[in-house]
Amino acid sequence: MAHTIEHFLQSEYWQKFNEALGKKTITVTGQDFRYLAIIEKTRLGTRLYCPYGPVFTSKTGFEAALASLKTEAKLYGALYIRIEPTQQISNETISKFGLKKAHKDIQPLATMLNNVATDEATIMADVSQTVRQIWKKNQKREISFRNSYDVKDIELFVDMAKCVSDRTGIKQHSAEYFKTLARTLFPSKSAGIMIADYEAKPAAAILYLQNESTMYYSYAASYDTYRSFNIGTSLVLHALLVAHRQNKRYFDFCGVAPKSSNGNHPWSGFTRFKQSFGGEYTEYAGTWELPVKNVRYTIYRGGVATYKILRNTKSAVKSSS
């Protein structure tokens, strides 16, 4: 087995945030495993969801985690369990435990993971020439950066996010979602906001999560006024350097298009952006489901498959008309 990688979404901080959103959670620790599971209620029934989990250190630990999850699922009357292992484990091994690949991945299947435990010169050398040129130009413009754990600063990020949404049509989380995250996680410094200022005015921001080993590039936003300056690009490079100075091991870009998409993916554009900072392409096992109530789960799977066919047919008709 590969060494244990515990993602932030399996942490006590993510548990606290989800509970602040009104969700019920479960945490269990056993021999060679631990997990955070979120109880999700849908119109089709209840499920247990382990975002980027469970965490395990052996095949036996993985098996024990599944058994524990199944026990908990039965207590809550869950239809099925969703898991997303981040350790290296083959699809063949996963399927041997009765799991079925979900119709779609919930958390990103792949990410770019940058090693920031090197030195600043190496971090700078690993980014593309374009990124370095933008950095130098913005240094001449005297763009400054600041880091904040002040809950009030989330209002700034929410305003920027609205600008991005208005410009691109990309649906964002609600303002209350971001405000709850700030109220819950900023005091412990498990989340924060990095802001780039130009002429003493905010221009771009990154809302990040962090644990002892990793800084996570969770959300980014900017105002339209200075888009031509690519201030967001400089801010990301600054974040990589901050992660290094804080003795992190990794900077996680939190999602890129999988290689199998061959450039034909809605995320292709920002995947190229994230790849311009170097880093290593990392792919996980994806989202898998373990049936608890087999008959009802089979009906559920059939319904989801039918819905996908109808949706794809409708899209094809629109495209041809």
Asked if pLDDT for residue 307 goes beyond 70, the answer is no
Question: What would the mean pLDDT of 249-266 be, rounded to a whole number?
Answer: 94
Residue 39 in domain:
yes
Render 9-32 in DSSP notation, one character per residue: GGSHHHHHHHHHTT-EEEEEEETT
Tell me which of 161 and 294 has the higher pLDDT. 161
CATH code of 186's domain: 3.40.630.30
Instruction: Check whether residue 244 and residue 293 sit in a common domain.
Output: no
Instruction: Check whether residue 98 and residue 228 sit in a common domain.
Output: no
Instruction: Check whether residue 27 and residue 143 sit in a common domain.
Output: no
Instruction: Check whether residue 245 and residue 269 sit in a common domain.
Output: yes
pTM reported for the whole predicted model: 0.92
> At 189, is the pLDDT very low, low, confident or very high (cuts 50, 70, 90)?
very high
pLDDT of residue 43: 84
Residue 201 in domain:
yes
Instruction: Check whether residue 41 and residue 153 sit in a common domain.
Output: no
Residue 1 in domain:
no
Instruction: Check whether residue 158 and residue 306 sit in a common domain.
Output: no
Q: What are 112-131's pLDDT values in tens digits? A: 999 999 999 999 999 999 99
Instruction: Check whether residue 62 and residue 161 sit in a common domain.
Output: no
Residue 70 in domain:
yes
pLDDT of residue 3: 41
Taking residue 93's Cβ as centre, other Cβ atoms within 10 Å add up to: 14
Asked if pLDDT for residue 310 goes beyond 60, the answer is no
For 91, the domain range is 8-108+284-320
Residue 2 in domain:
no
Tokens of residue 51, six digits:
């975002």
Residue 65 in domain:
yes
Question: What would the mean pLDDT of 238-263 be, rounded to a whole number?
Answer: 96
Tokens of residue 315, six digits:
């899209």
pLDDT of residue 301: 85
Asked if pLDDT for residue 293 goes beyond 70, the answer is yes
Instruction: Check whether residue 231 and residue 125 sit in a common domain.
Output: yes
For the chain, how many structural domains are there in total? 2
Asked if pLDDT for residue 321 goes beyond 60, the answer is no
Instruction: Give the lowest-confidence range in 196-205, 231-240, 259-268, 309-318.
Output: 309-318
What whole-number percentage of the chain has pLDDT above 70?
93
Question: Distances in Å between the alpha carbon of 17 and those of 8, 215, 284, 299, 318?
Answer: 12, 17, 24, 33, 40
Instruction: Check whether residue 37 and residue 80 sit in a common domain.
Output: yes
Q: What are 88-97's pLDDT values in tens digits? A: 888 999 999 9
The runs of H, that is alpha helices, within 103-188 are 120-126, 129-140, 154-168, 175-185
